[in-house]
């Protein structure tokens, strides 16, 4: 049977209105992706839901390495083990774990297909698969080249590889980072990475240089990073923005060359962070628009195309919220509340969102940017904003660093139990 949006919306509205009935099988909530968004939803549903739903989390990896704090591994400040998390505690709390990938979503039969074979039915579906990379967005770069020129923008093996490459650089070598165009995961992430690599090189290879190629005119926390680089790593970092060819880059992975506005330059390490779109699965289920990201209802994170499906985290178009773990976790609270309200036949509390993005510029020198958000009919809109100030003293930056450690402990607890 072919799915049409009108017939679907009519049946979906009817099913949403029907609360769970005592004696009826528990509602099946399937969550795809065990990262910042998905794990947080699954955790919240079993903790706050008191058994109202049967919660299944589908995730191919046995161990999730957080992208957040992965730059600190590149800086030599944190082990990979310290950012690795398993799903045992979530299972103990009552989440059914399926270690597999979803290869397709059938909205007619309300089921997902699994790479390992078979399918799973759902009453509510939650999608938080994160991002996929746009190959050739930097000409010459594809996923096949990621062993030579890593992205390290999904943490784990790629993070380890990039750290090994930095450590093996010849004295006085060039580390090149190609930053992505907007919108992308973690707006300050590439610049925190430059900071952490600079810290590492200052310790082990002080004559090395960092070349930052950036298609964007401006970037997140720019003045704070520039001030920090000047203070901690003078003369090490050179940034070429679009006025200097930073938006006209090609790479030749086999020759370890970057071509800037037609001129080839040899580099020793090349970290390519490509343009990004919502995790492929979301587009394949026709839940994205022409931007490559998923439009959502700002009051609930329900897909604009299908109210039984929630899309959150990096894959969603979350208005003024950045693509961050902090944002995904905040959205997870709204999603879980909406699902539990559906099950109870009640109205969900008004959605409120918050975000903080931390960046470490040097050991104990941390800065933050963040805000609060509320839904409007068009988008999730910013209501308040804060940002670290230039020239802050060491005690303030140390306090920010300590807050970021507290945040890491809290969010990983809210994801994995
Ligand atoms: C270097 C770096 C630093 C960062 N620092 C910060 C920070 O300090 N603070 C902050 O808030 N954010 C930070 N972020 C951003 C943050 O990591 C992401 O925004 C966040 O992880 C997004 O959550 P998500 O649930 O959308 O995706 P993810 O956390 O990536 O989770 C997606 C999961 O879905 C799984 N998946 C994908 N496809 C399928 C499928 N078909 N079937 C089943 N499972 C699937 C994946 O295996 C993955 O585990 C940083 C990111 C980077 C790269």
63 pLDDT above the threshold of 70: yes
Spatial distance between the Cα atoms of 53 and 130, rounded to a whole number of angstroms = 24
User: What is the DSSP code string of 22-41?
Assistant: TTSPPEEEEEE--SHHHHHH
The per-residue pLDDT for 320 is: 98
C-alpha 137: how far from chain center: 19
Query: So what's the pLDDT on residue 24?
Result: 58
State yes or no: pLDDT of 21 exceeds 50.
Answer: no
Instruction: Give me the count of residues in the chain.
Output: 417
What average pLDDT does the structure give for the chain? Answer: 94
Is the pLDDT reported for residue 6 higher than 60? no
Q: Which residue has the higher pLDDT, 17 or 66?
A: 66
* CA 34 – ligand 1 centroid, Å: 9
Average pLDDT (361-377) is 98
CA distances from 298 to 125, 232, 286 (A): 17, 41, 19
Mean pLDDT of 86-102: 98
pLDDT in tens, 148-171: 999 999 999 999 999 999 999 999
Residues linked to residue 126 through DSSP beta bridges, in sequence order: 31, 310
The answer on pLDDT for 8 being more than 60 is no
Q: In this predicted structure, what is the pLDDT of residue 19? A: 42
Which of 3.30.450.20, 1.10.287.70, 2.60.40.1180, 3.50.50.60 is the CATH number of 5-60+100-130+279-348?
3.50.50.60
The pLDDT assigned to 4 comes to: 33
Provide the β-strand partners of residue 55: 29
Q: What is the mean pLDDT of residues 66-81?
A: 98
Asked if residue 187 has its Cβ within 6 Å of ligand 1, the reply is: no
Helix axes 157-167, 189-204, angle to 10 degrees: 40
**Average confidence (pLDDT) over 380-398:** 98
Distances (CA, A) of 340 to 85, 115, 235: 27, 29, 55
pLDDT over 80 (residue 13): no
Please give the structure tokens belonging to residue 214.
């950036």
271 has which bridge partners?
A: 177
Question: In CATH, what number does 134-272 get?
Answer: 3.50.50.60
The reported pLDDT for the residue numbered 11 is 37
Q: 318-331: per-residue pLDDT in tens?
A: 999 999 999 999 99
Evaluate: CB of 330 within 6 angstroms of ligand 1: no
pLDDT at 349 over 80: yes
Q: What pLDDT is recorded for position 265? A: 97
User: Where does CATH 3.50.50.60 sit in the chain?
Assistant: 5-60+100-130+279-348, 134-272
Is the sign of the CA dihedral 228, 233, 235, 237 positive or negative?
Answer: negative
The tally of CA atoms less than 13 A away on the side-chain side of residue 265 is 19
Tell me what pLDDT residue 261 has: 96
Give CA–CA dist 68/66, Å, rounded: 5
14, pLDDT greater than 60? no
Q: What is the pTM of this model?
A: 0.95
Q: Is 150 in the pocket of ligand 1 (CB under 6 A)?
A: no
State the average pLDDT over residues 221-245.
98
Residue 37 in contact with ligand 1 by CB distance below 6 A:
yes
Task: Decide: 60 in ligand 1 pocket, CB within 6 A.
Answer: yes
- φ, ψ dihedrals at 403, nearest 5°: -60, -40
Q: State both tokens at 149.
A: 């020129």
- Cβ contact 198:237 at 8 Å: yes
pLDDT at 50: 86
């Amino acid at each position: 049977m072919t799915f049409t949006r009108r017939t679907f919306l009519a049946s979906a509205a009817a099913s949403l209105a029907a609360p769970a009935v005592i004696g009826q099988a528990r509602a099946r909530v399937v969550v795809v992706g065990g990262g910042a968004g998905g794990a947080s939803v699954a955790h919240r549903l079993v903790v706050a839901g008191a058994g109202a739903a049967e919660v299944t989390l589908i995730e191919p990896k046995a161990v999730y390495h957080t992208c957040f704090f992965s730059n600190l591994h590149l800086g030599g400040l944190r082990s990979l083990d310290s950012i690795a998390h398993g799903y045992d505690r979530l299972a103990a709390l009552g989440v059914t774990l399926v270690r597999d990938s979803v290869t397709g979503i059938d909205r007619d039969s309300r089921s997902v297909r699994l790479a390992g074979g078979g399918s799973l039915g759902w009453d509510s579906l939650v999608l938080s698969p994160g991002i996929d990379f746009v190959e050739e967005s930097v000409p010459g770069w594809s996923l096949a080249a990621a062993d030579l020129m890593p992205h390290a923008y999904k943490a784990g093996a790629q993070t380890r590889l990039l750290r090994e490459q930095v450590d093996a650089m010849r004295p006085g070598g060039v580390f090149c980072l190609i930053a992505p165009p907007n919108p992308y995961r973690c707006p300050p992430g590439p610049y925190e990475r430059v900071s952490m690599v600079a810290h590492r090189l200052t310790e082990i290879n002080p004559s090395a240089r960092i070349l930052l190629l950036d298609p964007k005119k401006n970037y997140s926390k720019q003045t704070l990073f520039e001030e920090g680089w000047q203070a901690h790593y003078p003369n090490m970092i050179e940034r070429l923005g679009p006025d200097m060819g930073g938006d006209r880059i090609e790479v030749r992975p086999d020759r370890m060359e970057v071509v800037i506005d037609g001129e080839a330059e040899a580099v020793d390490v090349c970290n390519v962070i490509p343009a990004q779109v919502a995790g492929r699965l979301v587009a394949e289920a026709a839940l994205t628009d022409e931007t490559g990201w998923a439009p959502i209802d700002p009051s609930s994170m329900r897909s604009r195309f299908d109210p039984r499906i929630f899309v959150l985290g990096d894959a969603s178009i979350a208005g003024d919220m950045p693509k961050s773990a902090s944002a995904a976790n905040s959205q997870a609270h709204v999603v879980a509340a909406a699902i539990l309200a559906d099950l109870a036949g009640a109205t969900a509390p008004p959605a409120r969102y918050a975000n903080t993005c931390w960046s470490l510029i040097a050991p104990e020198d941390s800065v933050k940017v963040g805000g609060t958000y509320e839904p409007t009919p068009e988008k999730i809109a910013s209501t308040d904003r804060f940002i670290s100030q230039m020239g802050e003293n060491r005690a303030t930056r140390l306090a920010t660093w300590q807050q970021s450690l507290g945040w890491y402990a809290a969010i990983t607890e809210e994801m994995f139990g």
